[in-house]
Chain A
Amino acid sequence: MTTRAPDALAPLTGDEAQHVLSEALAMSSAAEDATAILESRVQALTRFANNEIHQNVASRQQALTVRVVIGRRCGVASTSRLDSSALRQVADRALALARLTPEDDELPPPAPAAMVAPLERFAAATAACTPEERAQAVGPVMQAAAAAGLNAAGALSTESICLALATRGGRFAYHPETYAHFTCTVRSDDSSGWCDRHRRDWRELEAAPLGATAIRKAEQSRVPVAIEPGAYTVVLEPSAVAELVAFLAWLGLGAQSEQEGRSFLSGRIGQRIAGESITLVDDATDPRGFGRPFDYEGTPRRRVTLIERGVARGVVHDRRTAARAGVESTGHACAPPAVEGPLPYDLVLGTGDATIEEMIGSTERGILVTRFWYNRVVDARRTIVTGMTRDGTFLIEGGRITRGLRNLRFNENVLDVLARADAIGRHAEPTVFDYAGNCVIVPALRTRDFRFTGVAPF
């Protein structure tokens, strides 16, 4: 049995992970090449609504994935059990799948040996955070909202994760990390405000002062008025910018979509696609982010310039797309089966020199957007996205916020939004998208002629 003592609440250590992976690889000896990937995650989340804690959970999850190659055939199987019998079963199943699969002419050769420089992403305080500490952190937020006659809902979560990978060729990489998130919506009868923060060390979440921001926004946006749909100058807070920029990852910054001609970048590398003030890179080493040092093929992640001063420069690769393009992998392979190919997971948008206050102060008439919600692709090739404003939409008149607005629907071309930006924030904030696991580090920005097409009744 390789299962660790059940009273331990941390993810697997490097030695424990290596032991499991070595055993899994040994059981895959019938394959010509094999890779074993282990992800172990301890997650806890305290959730509140209506100024009381209503859900509070903890889980320990783990997944071992075995990928084997026989000739030009590949098979992948995974399991949540780490005992010897389960490792034998998952290895046998991967081998069986490989034997059943047709030959893959483009199957990349085994990954060469590579040194992976570690990235410090683990905060012991986050791993040790207790349910009592989580409750004590969110309690003052609920009390402050209640004292103001408002209603708070939100969540404080912590995660300790290990990702480990080993190959038949002797490569072993191990990466421990932590993640902490606080988010809160404060509502009145006719308004709402919101705050959101992602950090590695949960003590930096500062729930109480952050919650005060949500309370202030809820109070400031009371009695919202409807504004006619149309083109407006908008000041987008970092969370709103993150929602838009994150779409670019899916719409064409990965090499597979570019090679298939589906990407907005297909045929446009080297061309101007955004304003000169826009530089977008993928950088797992950015200290503000949550990047990992290697990808799911064990390749070290490289910093990739995607857009440089508005000019399209490149896309991210895994081993398959790199072989097609005659380049080296940039270390952006996704977890098997990776049907979308390689993707950028650590987007960083270059900062400018303005503060949000300065952007508002120099706007004669415009709209301040706290966040966008339920954003979806209308047209992938044209990077048109629709969505709604939420939890704090304000009218700017004469350089100051004058009142709250009812929420608005937008339909916009993300690249055009970046091209029309005339002010960029000097501070960038990380946002982690939990459904995809990717991080976007972006500043606020102001852009002209942002197209709102509808208004909600609230």
Chain B
Amino acid sequence: MNSIADRALNAAQLAGASYADVRVVATRSQFLEVKNHRVSALQESTTHGLGVRVLAGGAWGFAASAVVDQREAERCAAEACRIARASAPFRRAPVVLDPLRPLEARYETPVAIDPFEVPLADKIELLARATNVMEGEPRVVVARGSMNFWEDRKLFASTEGRRIEQRIIHSGAGLSAAARSDDDLQWRSFPNSFGGHYEAAGYELIERFDLAGNAAATAATAAALLTAPQCPAGVSTVILDGSQVSLQIHESCGHPAELDRVLGHEANYAGTSFMTVEQCGRLQYGSPLVHLVADATAPRGLGTFGFDDEGVPAQKVDLVRNGRLVGYLTSRETAPLLGQGSNGTMRAESWAHLPIIRMTNINLEPGSGTLEELIASTEDGILMVTNRSWSIDDRRYNFQFGTEVGWEVRHGRRGRMLKNCTYTGVTPEFWNRCDAVCGPSEWEIWGTPTCGKGQPAQTMRTAQGAAPARFHDVQVGVGYGS
């Protein structure tokens, strides 16, 4: 691989590139799904390719190919330079990168059990056992269990003398049950929706879940939701479980903190951001309890790595401190505009994609106490658990989320189960109404495996660390009510 990378870099420089980097990436993935007594998916995929990114004439060019050999590496380098030169007349100013020194390094996701070495029969047996338990609930019409495993082997090399090899492993699994009555359909998932829970980890993660042991409760909750009362419409105190807080962070802090969005680079597709550069250091984003960091060094997160796809080391930086906006997710091109160096958040979906700013692990630092203690201190409210629906405007102000299940909270106790829970708000108003965040014992680093951004569209795996949190004066029930 090193010789192919060298060939690409040399060709780029000969074609006039002032800077070039190349990524050679081999990815393998495995997806299993068992549904209703049947292995409904068992698929393995491998992709291998290279992508060459160049600066020529002050503009970017990028070319990628699934053919990995020296001739194709040279062709991609030349094509990237041609593309850059075609762009150059339409630049207002040349691209300037923050400097990086030469470095050779390796990084590997620490795993206890390589998920690709675990026999498929064992995986299928576990999913079959768990889904069989869920099918024991008579009102369940879909009982589904799945596992996903990914391995990326990446070589990054640049004309500045960076050469970095990484092996990143992600694993995930989960259950979901759909229960049906004559006029309703309700889903319940474990440990999370979106196919389950995901981490930068090996098969030890799946063993930690006890899928079979949680299957009966998952199916029973789906069935119970059919006859549960509807979430009321009105204004209420809301307690969100950690997984829902995680998605709230993802949508209402992670995305608007991406500096490329802030600068308008994503204006046509993903959108822009209300967290403008003038607001940095001034905007009271949330209550003083709200401390949010972007931490690519945190153990187990889907945004954990050694180096980003520009060769910048993983870092931990503040985004919101004591409720105040203090930072952004940056790149080598955007950070200098703030007088800073990159904090290492550039990632590409694959060798075929250009790296763009992506969330790493956007973590809400834990407060104190347990969820049960938080409920006990709540006079009147609704506990909402596990995301079902999510939507937010293109500047990341107005959001609406729905959850799979909720419970009334009355006089410090968990009351009746509620179905079809929704809540809505405007991001800074909502986070300023945060009056409690649970402590480290409730904190988890939740994976989001399907974050979309970019043109051409890219899917990225990110994470958000969160514990359950409480918010007062929240509008609820809007999805169904008036």
Contacts and interface: CB of A to CB of B under 8 A. Distances in A.
Interface string B108-136: 00000000000011001000100000000
Nearest to A155: B455
Contact of A434 (B33, B265, B457): B457
Interface residues of B, number: 86
Contacts of B271: 373, 390
A456 B87 contact: no
11 contacts: A6-B65, A52-B90, A97-B43, A104-B38, A262-B180, A339-B35, A339-B41, A380-B185, A390-B393, A391-B394, A457-B426
B65 A7 contact: no
**Most chain B Cβ neighbours within 10 Å, of A58, A130, A384:** A58
Interface stretch (A40-48, A289-297, A438-446): A40-48
Contact of B424 (A93, A104, A134, A409): A409
Contacts of A51: 92
B38 A77 contact: no
Contact of B45 (A78, A142, A455): A78
A375 B67 CA distance: 37
B75 A435 contact: no
B310 to A, nearest CB: 14
Contact of B63 (A59, A62, A261, A337): A59
Contacts of B268: 47, 49, 153-155, 183-185
Contact of A157 (B43, B456, B480): B456
Interface stretch (B76-84, B290-298, B369-377, B464-472): B76-84
B263 interface: yes
Contacts of A75: 42
B64 A58 contact: yes
Contacts of B33: 337, 339
B83 A337 contact: no
Contacts of B178: 260, 262
A223 interface: no
A389 B82 CA distance: 39
A46 B393 CA distance: 25
A172 B60 CA distance: 41
A153 B395 CA distance: 15
A384 B274 CA distance: 28
B335 to A, nearest CB: 15
A188 interface: no
Contacts of B47: 63, 79-80
B390 to A, nearest CB: 6
**Most chain A Cβ neighbours within 10 Å, of B79, B352, B455:** B455
Interface of B: 31, 33, 35-36, 38-49, 51, 59-69, 71-72, 75, 79-80, 82-84, 86-87, 89-92, 120-121, 124, 128, 141-142, 178, 180, 184-185, 263-269, 271, 274, 352-354, 389-395, 397-398, 400, 402, 420, 422, 424, 426, 452, 455-457, 478-480
Contacts of B91: 52-53
B390 A411 contact: no
Report the contact-size class of chain A (Cβ under 8 Å from the partner).
35 or more
A379 interface: yes
B43 A388 contact: no
A351 interface: no
A50 interface: yes
Contact of A97 (B44, B400, B457): B44
A74 B43 CA distance: 10
Contact of B75 (A7, A45, A93, A130): A7
A387 B75 CA distance: 44
Contacts of B38: 102, 104-106
Nearest to A458: B395
Contact of A48 (B41, B90, B353): B90
Contact of B455 (A47, A80, A105, A391): A47
Interface string A55-68: 11111111100000
A223 to B, nearest CB: 17
B87 A59 contact: no
A4 B352 CA distance: 18
Given A131-B82, A151-B267, A185-B268, A454 B478 contact: yes
Interface of A: 3, 6-7, 43, 45-63, 74-81, 90, 93, 97, 100-102, 104-106, 130-132, 134-135, 138-139, 142, 151, 153-155, 157, 183-185, 187, 260-262, 336-337, 339, 373-381, 384, 386-388, 390-391, 407, 409, 411, 434-435, 453-458
Nearest to A50: B264
Contacts of B452: 435
Contacts of B180: 261-262
Given A6-B67, A55-B62, A134 B455 contact: no
A187 B267 contact: yes
A135 B400 contact: no
Contacts of A76: 41-44
Contacts of B455: 45, 47, 55, 155, 157
Nearest to A89: B46
A43 B79 CA distance: 13
Given A49-B264, A376-B389, A376-B390, A100 B400 contact: no
B265 A54 contact: yes
A386 B402 CA distance: 10
A104 B391 contact: no
A55 B64 CA distance: 14
Given A50-B264, A154-B268, A381-B184, A56 B83 contact: yes
